[in-house]
Amino acid sequence: MSKSRSFEINQNLASPNRNITPITTELDHLGRLKVGGCLLSELAEQYGTPLYVLDETTIRRSCEAYRESFRKFYPGESLVLYASKANSSLCISNLVASEGFGIDVVSEGELLTALRSGIPGEKIVLHGNNKSINELELAYKNKATIILDNQHDIDLLRKIIKENDQPAKVMLRFTPGIECHTHEYIRTGHLDSKFGFDPKELIKVFNQLKDVSFANVLGLHAHIGSQIFELTPHIDLADIMTDVLKKGRDIGFPINDLNVGGGLGIKYVSSDDPPSIQDWVKTVAKSISDACSKKNLSLPRLLCEPGRSIIASAGLTLYKIGSRKDIPNGKTYISVDGGMSDNPRPITYQSNYTACLVDRPLAKSDEVVTIAGKHCESGDILLKNVHLPSSSSGDVLSVFATGAYNLSMSSNYNRIPRPASVIVANGESKMMQLRELPEDLLRYDLLPDRFIAKG
């Protein structure tokens, strides 16, 4: 096997979603990896492993790219909403709010987190295909916008909001007949999706909500997928959404908000080639502007909901290497002290990642190994056939682009506690979320009396 470098630092400062690593990634004088001015091996020693690390500068640069691109390319009003399902915490919610963003939430927990972080309800939208009474009441009480996903949402709102109460601010979500995930692009008359009204139902829904006292329809929402590498689908989406916008306004609704969802992809491995944030915004903005001009519609306020493309590339996960298994004429397994409970994406979606040894990131690779998690599950594999220099037990491994859908999808499988999470900037690290302890997992356990052994 010819030896090659297992890892390279390649930075795009303008659009961080096109990087595998955070934009502050650098080497110290000994060739060891630093992020946010912090030595990664020292973070592992200080906080323990597994450890989620987020780079504040990368998050802020991503927010800036979205914010400035809308100012440049869209002549109307706009608002970027951070999709908090990607990574929800008080710290992250407060950070994106400081960049002028609103936030998109999908549960009472995410909504409460956003509110407690200081985001005003007027800049929060609540999603969900099966919202509870509690979720709807909390959103309504705090003046958040509610995305009506189905008839069930309408029926619950009718019960919650009394005749003389202020109406809820609502948007209608519908399936646009477009589905796009990475390189797959499907356009159909109807999508098999649990989310949103069928387009054929919208006139009926509009008529049902006309002149009601409990809801004020102010906008439309549609979403076409995630980890998107194509721009063309957004042109089609603009045409579809402005058709519905025209119908709604013709019926008499003061619709001024169009929410095109999110879904812009990021670079997980060297072969990934997502569009830049600037190109994505330019395409969306121009498509909506052109469609409105063609149909003689005044420009709506344009909303979008990026999550992954803001925070994924800002994150990495640190592990310590433990055991090794060499199969004669077969694979070599390197096991780490985490796995599917802190990153379920490989076993769930067969997702690929990039990794390196943090104190020898540019060393020539000596072997091809499979990085295995510690869980009692044969499918708990984080990376397959990755080129690495020879490693020893105790070495620290970094897996990159784990800022999105790792912590937020983490679990306690095998009763393994969730990792701590820290944010780094200017050579300082601050704890965002504490590490769970084994004792924490017993807090909500109860042992019924009849199971207690009699002495």
SS3 246: helix
Q: How far apart are CA 219 and CA 240, in angstroms?
A: 14
Instruction: Count Cβ atoms within 10 A of the Cβ of residue 455 and give its class: 0-12 exposed, 13-18 middle, 19 or more buried.
Output: exposed
115-142 in b/e burial notation, b at 16+ Cβ within 10 A? bebebebebbbbbbeebeeebbebbbeb
Catalytic, out of 38, 180, 356, 376: 376
Asked if residues 260 and 235 have their Cβ atoms less than 8 Å apart, the reply is: no
Asked if residues 255 and 301 have their Cβ atoms less than 8 Å apart, the reply is: no
Phi first, then psi: what are they for 255, rounded to 5°? -70, 120
Residues 6+ apart with CB under 8 A from 250: none
Q: How far apart are CA 58 and CA 40, in angstroms?
A: 16
Catalytic site residue 180?
no
Q: How far apart are CA 224 and CA 58, in angstroms?
A: 26
SS3 449: helix
Q: How far apart are CA 303 and CA 300, in angstroms?
A: 9
Asked if residues 49 and 418 have their Cβ atoms less than 8 Å apart, the reply is: no
Q: How far apart are CA 166 and CA 213, in angstroms?
A: 8
Residues 6+ apart with CB under 8 A from 439: none
Asked if residues 385 and 368 have their Cβ atoms less than 8 Å apart, the reply is: yes
Q: Which residue intervals of 274-379 are DSSP H helices?
A: 277-294, 308-311, 345-349
Point out the residues that are catalytic. Answer: 376
